[in-house]
Amino acid sequence: MEALVELLCPQNPTVQNAPSMCSQFISEQAGFGLMGQLFYFLLFPTIFLIIFIYILSSSVLKGDAGRMKMINFLIAAGVWIFIIINGYYALVLPVAKLWFFALPLLGVLYFFLRHWRGGGGGGGMSKAGVGGVVARSGNWLKEAMVGDRPIEPREMFRQRKLLQDEIEVKDKQIREQEDLLKGAKSEREKAEVMKILANLKSERTVIVMRRKGIKV
């Protein structure tokens, strides 16, 4: 355990008593035995930090950047190292412990609020179980921290691909109408083709704006 304290709670000028705080936290968990100390000192805070860093990176990286897994990884690694070398891990320990106690309560609270508002049937608990309630509470907690849930990168990529296909279809239709315009023999025929062209270009502009994430 001393090696873990030296690794995760190094001496630093930011939180100067970080090593002693970590040692005291471990001694407070002595009643749970060695396995309990490992869970409370290493596993629970690590899970808490992973979720926190994931929420942070998801809120920072939006749009195309959301699909850049390497940038996501670099942000996660940078935040993790920053927390460790500045001694903030010692401050995370009590928060992580409290969070794991509070999470089931948040799940139950979310469940009752959702059903009181008419959000679902009475069988939600029996079908999903406690695990499902806790998972939904995690989503609720994330929404509360960063606002609306961002679209998953895979779904965003699929939507952008569909919109790109629509743009290509419109481009083909526009080229066909431009060829018809060149071969038009009367002013009336030209006017009809130009009207169709204008509609197609307007539709294409709307699709391009939607692909860029601009609400229209």
- Which amino acid belongs to residue 69? K
Residues of the chain with pLDDT under 70: 60-68, 115-153, 215-216
Q: What helix, strand, coil percent values describe the chain, rounded to 5?
A: 80, 0, 20
Look at phi and psi of residue 87 and say left if phi exceeds 0, alpha if psi is from -120 to 50, else beta.
left
pLDDT the model gives residue 129? 46
Co-location of 53 and 72 in the same domain: yes
Domain annotation covers residue 216: no
pLDDT the model gives residue 33? 86
CA nearest to 197, candidates 163, 215, 161, 173: 173
Length of the chain: 216
Measure the CA–CA gap between 166 and 206, rounded to whole angstroms.
Answer: 11
Co-location of 66 and 140 in the same domain: yes
pLDDT the model gives residue 63? 52
Co-location of 66 and 134 in the same domain: yes
Domain annotation covers residue 81: yes
Co-location of 61 and 161 in the same domain: no
pLDDT the model gives residue 145? 47
pLDDT the model gives residue 133? 44
Map tokens 């009207």 to a residue: 195
Does the predicted model carry a pTM greater than 0.75? no
Measure the CA–CA gap between 39 and 91, rounded to whole angstroms.
Answer: 16
Mapped onto helix, strand or coil, the DSSP state of residue 155 is: helix
Please say which residue of 132, 150, 168 terminates a domain.
150
- Domain residues for the domain of 199 are 154-211
pLDDT the model gives residue 127? 42
pLDDT the model gives residue 128? 45
Co-location of 74 and 117 in the same domain: yes
Co-location of 114 and 80 in the same domain: yes
Co-location of 81 and 128 in the same domain: yes
pLDDT the model gives residue 126? 42
Map tokens 């509470």 to a residue: 137
Co-location of 126 and 158 in the same domain: no
Work out how many domains the chain is built from and give that number: 2
Co-location of 104 and 123 in the same domain: yes
Give residue-wise pLDDT tens across range 41-66.
Answer: 888 888 888 888 887 777 766 554 44
